[in-house]
Every structure is written in structure tokens, then in C-alpha cells.
Amino acid sequence: MTTTQALYVLEVASCRSMSLAAQRLYVSQSAISQQILKLEQELGCALFTRTIYGLDLTPAGERFCREARPVMDAWQKLCQDMQASNPEAKKQLRIGVGSRVYSNCLFEDLVRFFDDHPEIEVSFLTEAGTDFLRSLRQQQMDLVLDRLPTEDYLARQSEYYSLPLVREKQCVLMSYRDERAGLESLSIGDLQGSTVISGLENSSEDRQLKEICRRYQISLKRIYRSDGIETNMNLVRSGLGVVLGPESFARYFNVAAVPLSPETEASLQFVCLKSLLQRREIRQFRDYLIGVCRDHGLLAGE
């Protein structure tokens, strides 16, 4: 018998569903069912019975949960006490932070969480142009707060857990002096012959721009490339080019924003490897961010 098996049984008992328990614990349903089956074989009795309303505990299952709950509570307390008593055992979080965190005024809220959790040491990685998904795969980061580069994400979607926190309209960002700044909308085709500002060669932004040009058969006048968001937006303010970006950038960087037509959305996402969702501090941080975005009226889907 393992603590993991006990955790699975208690979670299934709580929600009366293996699929719902799997969602809550961020593991596959087959992993839960296999572990519970092994435990039942070891104990020599069934812990659940299936009804039209879901899974119910058998008498043996009721006894198991009654005895297991205080054991699991004691185990979690022991883990917390050991971590608290050993400064060297502090939890580490390395977080990739995209510009949308700042433009939506969320960074101070991020810091507040870690002020309230001194047991967690945090490093913020904010270098523009970083391939965040590659850094996740190489375990150079634990989680990322940014939009998803679509082509990279879809190719390895099964590896990642992603949660949209803030959805925003995609816009063409430009100087207020640009003659197009007063338009109600622009299509991708309207970028024909424009100067566009992007990330460094072969960055996720650059690859996306190249894919857009290929798909819509657009020829650009030229492309300015930079790995710094401030440099990019200074170029925009100077009227030297346009950027494809979220609506919040317009307010934050003091530029004009013309929505794309047809309307296109991009999300600020919470992204990590699915395997890392077993870490309690990552789940805590995710749940905290959901509450923050909801309090600000930004939470996607609400």
C-alpha cells in the first residue's frame, strides 16, 4: 500500500467518479483505476461499487477511508513540518513570465503570493524571445505564464497542462500617427507591404509571422527583429512598423490598437508539464492566479 493509492481512493470517494478524480489530481483515469485495482487485490476486497449515480464505497471502502484520512492528514503535516524545519529543503519555482503578465497588471499579484509563502523560493525568467515551451521540456523552467506558440504546442500537446487565464483580442499595434490608427478593424491581408516588428530570427514570434505571411501570401516591406519588448514597442511608437499583439499592450505601451478582422483571440496561459502538477506549490499557485484573474474581472470564460 502506498500513500498515492490512499490519495486516489480518498479523491474518488469524494467525487464518486474516477474521471473527475483524475481531472482534480491531473493524472490519467487509467492510472487511478490501475492503482485502486492493485490496492483492492492486495487488501482482498472491493472498495467501490458502481451505481447509476456514480461510484459508492463498499463497507470495506468506508472503513478504509475512515482509517486512511487521519493517516494522510498526518503524512501531509509531517511533510510540511520537515520542509519548514529544513531551510535547505525550500521549494524552488522557476517561472517564465511573458509581457502579457505586465500589460494586464498581474505581476504585483504574483509577487504577493510568494510574500505569503516564504517556504517557496522563486526565480522569474523574463527574457523576451525565449522559447518557453522548449525550456519547460528541458526542465529549465517549472511553469510559464504567456501565450502559447500554436505550432509548437499542438505538436506536443499531450505533454503540457495549459489553462487560459486571460483572453484578449489580437490587434495590429501601431503609432497614433499611423493613418490606419482610427480604423475599426484590419484584416491580415491589410498588412501587405507593411513593415512588421517581430522577435529574433527563428523565435516563436518570428516563426508565427512567417507562417502568417505564407498562409495569406503576404509580402512585407521589411521586418525589424529584436529580443526586447521595450525595443519593439519603441519602434512602434516611432512609427517605424507595426506589431501583432494583444489589446492590453496598447494601454500599457501607449500605442494605438486596431482589432483584427475576423476577430481573433489570444490567451495568457498558465502552462507546465503535466508531470509537474503533482507538486503542491504549483497547484497552489495556479489556484491563486485563477482567483486573482477572477477578482480583476479578467478570467477567461467568465
Say which amino acid occupies 71: V
Averaged confidence pLDDT in the chain: 86
Residue with cell 473527475: 20
CA angle, residues 150, 288, 22, in degrees to nearest 5: 65
Q: Homologous superfamily of 88-166+267-295 in CATH?
A: Periplasmic binding protein-like II (3.40.190.10)
Distance CA(256)–CA(74), nearest Å, equals 56
Model pTM above 0.95: no
137/88: higher pLDDT: 137
100: CB partners within 8 A, 6+ apart: 145, 146, 147, 166, 168, 246, 248, 268
Q: Which element (helix H / strand E) includes 24?
A: helix 18-25
> Has residue 113 got a pLDDT over 60?
yes
Residues 43 and 36 sit within 8 Å (Cβ to Cβ):
no
CA angle, residues 102, 153, 200, in degrees to nearest 5: 60
**pLDDT tens readout for residues 238-295:** 999 999 999 999 999 999 999 999 988 888 999 998 888 888 899 999 999 999 999 9
> Has residue 148 got a pLDDT over 80?
no
Burial of 255 (0-12, 13-18, 19+ CB in 10 A): buried
- Name the band, by pLDDT with cuts 50, 70 and 90, for residue 112: very high
Distance CA(294)–CA(288), nearest Å, equals 10
Among 19-28, 93-102, 148-157, 208-217, the range with the most confident prediction by mean pLDDT is: 93-102
Cα–Cα distances in angstroms (integers) from residue 73 to residues 15, 40, 65, in the given order: 18, 22, 12
**pLDDT tens readout for residues 64-86:** 999 999 998 888 778 767 766 66
219: CB partners within 8 A, 6+ apart: 192, 193, 213
**pLDDT tens readout for residues 16-60:** 888 888 766 656 788 889 999 999 999 999 999 998 888 999 999
In percent, the amount of the chain with pLDDT more than 70 equals 90
- Coil, strand or helix: which one is 159? helix
pLDDT at 104: 93
pLDDT at 89: 57
Q: The domain 3-85: what is its CATH number?
A: 1.10.10.10
* Angle between helices 280-295 and 107-115 in degrees, nearest 10: 130
> Has residue 156 got a pLDDT over 80?
no
**pLDDT tens readout for residues 158-191:** 778 888 999 999 999 999 999 999 999 999 999 9
> Has residue 150 got a pLDDT over 60?
no
- Name the band, by pLDDT with cuts 50, 70 and 90, for residue 4: confident
Domain assignments of the chain as residue spans, ordered by start: 3-85, 88-166+267-295, 169-266
When mean pLDDT is compared across 134-148, 178-192, 212-226, the lowest value belongs to 134-148
Fold: same for 3-85 and 169-266? no
Per-residue pLDDT, averaged over 7-18, amounts to 89
Distance CA(151)–CA(143), nearest Å, equals 19
CATH entry 3.40.190.10 includes domain 169-266: yes
pLDDT at 155: 53
* Count of C-beta atoms within a 10 Å radius of residue 268: 27
> Has residue 95 got a pLDDT over 80?
yes
Distance CA(80)–CA(85), nearest Å, equals 9
